[in-house]
Chain A
């Protein structure tokens, strides 16, 4: 027979770990090599000698040699880049799959030692952990890596949650609030979780996908470089352009890593290197340095401060959704190798432990607690699968814990496969059946059996599948245990949550807005239904899904042209435990289903392109003011600072940050051009026109004196400004319309006696019409359509239609108006104005074409 227990895997930036929960639930086993080392380096390289991949420690040992290892691949997950590995190029998923495959192999070998020979041990299922703050593309890439490694990925669990699960399991903490501070090699996560009677509630998560121990190392490597330059070495490194420079810098990064590790236990470290590498002139770089802890800590202080800001945000969110503040936190848990840095521990003690109920941070198993927690969760999700390896083909999953404190155990099982004719399943010991359940179909669905337990700590029992005959059709032995049950979540808990809002772009009061469909913190799996409405008759419905501001999928549904505005558009979005997203849209009898293969991040590559992006970002900032401007600058400043630093030290991080910056710039560029309609300047212009009419009249008009008029205009102006500042589209339109109405009423006095066809007035109107038409045409020709293919086509077709309409209905008749008698000219102009209004309105709506409206 075979047994298959799912494992928990922490796929880390620097190191990875794998663990499994013993079915007795007394032991959590983590893989360790013959030297007791529990971590496996996340490194892959090409071995020219065997023409195969080396993974883990053997790969890391090739640092600094030809065909050096690919490391920190986790930082590239979700990007479309590939990396060279010997003669091959591999995607980040493939490199990660190699690491996962190796972990599986090592664990299997480990478990086989001492296992009975007649039982085949299978490791086919896993829960893989991911940083809490991973985006959908990064999650998707991780799941794919698991599948490429031949694993059934039961779920992706966020690392801090895994750590909390481990600590509550280990220390039997059934209740309490945890703050998990997880500083790994490449990512920082913070989660606030509550454990309630063994059930988990993830209250908040935050973090930075591009901040970890690697950044400490690169930051200090740059310091080291500057020290060496000051000693005369030629080390003006161009890491993006020159692979040799990149290699030199990498050597400094490794040195910085050593310094970091030494300073974790000592106050001063002495570094002496002989011909460590050669500089750009070919001279051997040899040096001696004395580095004190304060110098190191000063260099990384702002990075540590960034982690604390993430913690503040997470706590703020926890306060919002659960009323939980820092003072309510019972345990602060430290996770990740980088939390060994003394400056980090100090900051956590000072800023997090002191104001909370936690005396000191829990710091057990910082390297392995994530894998251990994942193993507990994997056991909860996957249970224990037993099966026969012969032709009987019986497979049964035991889905509930096999241990109970009381004298009976409620066992949930599912018969997944069974010999022909199976009618019942029975749990029996040597003296006979203990519990039985009828089977009407296979797979059976979940069956519940209540089994009496004796007093012995371990009881050998067997699962028997029975047909109509005198003998069981299949027998699968296993054990039940009597003892303490550790806190463990039931199906009430949803430990994996959506890290960032999943949203859709919609129209609201004429403006494009992001509408959250699945809010961050929502437990997985989740399925949501939303109803939207068509807002135009373009013949297409555009559903643009985003995670935060990252576009993850655009669905375009074609509908019959002329489909009524306001036709319901039903969108169903589902997301499973491993963040696999599916969307179903239904509109006007058309249905579209799409699996959301998250778009990969595309970022400018060259240094020049990055410089242009940074300049562009500054430029957009200058056009924004008020609330929008502040929001933009708040995000822009840290991002551009990190990007400028990463350009010189970390090309992979620079690419990711550049992609993020690009999205920020795009969003706010739109915001600056697309605000409310009509634009502010037209409102201001209107108020000026009213003022002029009032002053021309000498002040007294329509029963009001000058002061009353001024007061009235000011009131309108204030209302308009407030609506504008708060982006209140409805109020803005109302105020604008009132101003327009007031202008018309005020102007009546001047117009009261003007002749209908005053030639001078008509000539002015004609000239204005000509200017307006040509402005409209250039606006239409200059229009920049959307970057998304399907949407671009729609917009271009509409733009072309408008240009044709402008020519046919406006420009041509205007050209023929020369010398027209006044009456006819007036009538023509009266007809052309509404046409141009119409084209202008359609032009303003071009960027919104196909978008759905929200009620």
Chain B
């Protein structure tokens, strides 16, 4: 992932000032000189010539994904953590079916790190 917008999670629609601010933070937190040099190089590529910035923006995937929805409200205190199962998250029969009976080509939803994370948070809360 060598496109600096994608690599450093930058929004191509942000201007050079915002890019500089973010890259400076990254450079300050860099673990090594090599990493810092890479960040510097990316910063130059993104800010030196607007033509290059535009080229790099065109070479980054447009964000066509739907927006992330609101996260669920925190569960009320007092309810037992044990009571939470994946079924709580998958009230839709088709989704429950997807989890129970089908497997995806390579990764099942049970192993999906985000879902696991959500489940863990739910379990704690």
Report if A and B touch in the complex (beta carbons < 8 A): yes
Taking A175-B17, A490-B24, A523-B44 as given, write out 15 further A-B residue pairs in contact, using a Cβ cutoff of 8 Å, ordered by the A residue number. A197-B20, A197-B21, A199-B24, A322-B48, A322-B49, A323-B50, A410-B28, A491-B28, A491-B36, A491-B40, A492-B20, A492-B24, A492-B27, A492-B40, A523-B40
Residues of B within 8 A of A449 (CB): none
Question: Complex formed: what's the CA distance from A322 to B23 in Å?
Answer: 19
Whether A201 sits at the interface, judged by CB under 8 Å, is yes
Contact A492 B39 (CB under 8 A): yes
Contact B16 A196 (CB under 8 A): yes
B61 to chain A, nearest CB (A): 25
Whether A321 sits at the interface, judged by CB under 8 Å, is yes
Whether B43 sits at the interface, judged by CB under 8 Å, is yes
Contact A490 B16 (CB under 8 A): no
Interfacial residues, chain A to chain B (CB-CB below 8 A): 175, 196-197, 199, 201, 203, 321-323, 410, 490-492, 494, 523
A406 to chain B, nearest CB (A): 14
Residues of A within 8 A of B50 (CB): 323
Please, could you name 8 A-B residue pairs with CB atoms under 8 Å apart, sorted by A? Answer: A175-B17, A196-B17, A197-B20, A322-B48, A322-B49, A323-B50, A492-B27, A523-B44
B94 to chain A, nearest CB (A): 50
A496 to chain B, nearest CB (A): 14
B85-111 vs A, Cβ < 8 Å mask (1 yes, 0 no): 000000000000000000000000000
Choice from A201, A491, A494 contacting B47 with Cβ under 8 Å: A201
Residue of B17, B24, B43, B51 with highest tally of chain A CB at under 10 A: B24
Shortest Cβ distance from B44 into A: residue: A201
Contact A201 B48 (CB under 8 A): yes
Contact B49 A196 (CB under 8 A): no
Question: Complex formed: what's the CA distance from A323 to B16 in Å?
Answer: 14
Residues of B within 8 A of A201 (CB): 44, 47-48
B7 to chain A, nearest CB (A): 16
Question: Complex formed: what's the CA distance from A494 to B50 in Å?
Answer: 19
Question: Complex formed: what's the CA distance from A490 to B47 in Å?
Answer: 15
Residues of B within 8 A of A175 (CB): 17
Query: A196-B20, A197-B20, A201-B44 are contacts. A490–B51 as well, Cβ < 8 Å?
Result: no
Residue of A321, A490, A492 with highest tally of chain B CB at under 10 A: A492
Shortest Cβ distance from B28 into A: residue: A490
Contact B23 A492 (CB under 8 A): yes
Contact A321 B28 (CB under 8 A): no
A481 to chain B, nearest CB (A): 19
Question: Complex formed: what's the CA distance from A322 to B16 in Å?
Answer: 13
Interface residues in B7-58 by Cβ distance below 8 A to A read 16-17, 20-21, 23-24, 27-28, 36, 39-40, 43-44, 47-51
Residues of A within 8 A of B44 (CB): 201, 523
Residue of B16, B20, B21, B36 with highest tally of chain A CB at under 10 A: B20
A694 to chain B, nearest CB (A): 52
Shortest Cβ distance from B25 into A: residue: A490
Residues of B within 8 A of A203 (CB): 48
Residues of B within 8 A of A197 (CB): 17, 20-21, 24
Question: Complex formed: what's the CA distance from A492 to B36 in Å?
Answer: 8
Question: Complex formed: what's the CA distance from A322 to B17 in Å?
Answer: 15
Residues of B within 8 A of A323 (CB): 49-51
Contact A490 B27 (CB under 8 A): yes
Residues of A within 8 A of B20 (CB): 196-197, 199, 492
Shortest Cβ distance from B21 into A: residue: A197
Choice from A321, A322, A410, A492 contacting B43 with Cβ under 8 Å: A492
Question: Complex formed: what's the CA distance from A321 to B45 in Å?
Answer: 11
Question: Complex formed: what's the CA distance from A104 to B44 in Å?
Answer: 36
Contact B48 A321 (CB under 8 A): yes
Residues of A within 8 A of B24 (CB): 197, 199, 490, 492
5 smallest beta-carbon distances between A and B, as pairs:
A197-B20, A322-B49, A196-B20, A490-B24, A492-B27
Question: Complex formed: what's the CA distance from A268 to B17 in Å?
Answer: 50
B44 to chain A, nearest CB (A): 7
Question: Complex formed: what's the CA distance from A743 to B51 in Å?
Answer: 50
B28 to chain A, nearest CB (A): 7
A322 to chain B, nearest CB (A): 5
Contact A321 B17 (CB under 8 A): no
Contact A491 B27 (CB under 8 A): yes
Question: Complex formed: what's the CA distance from A199 to B40 in Å?
Answer: 11
A776 to chain B, nearest CB (A): 53
A488 to chain B, nearest CB (A): 11
A307 to chain B, nearest CB (A): 26
Contact B21 A494 (CB under 8 A): no
Question: Complex formed: what's the CA distance from A494 to B43 in Å?
Answer: 12
Shortest Cβ distance from B50 into A: residue: A323
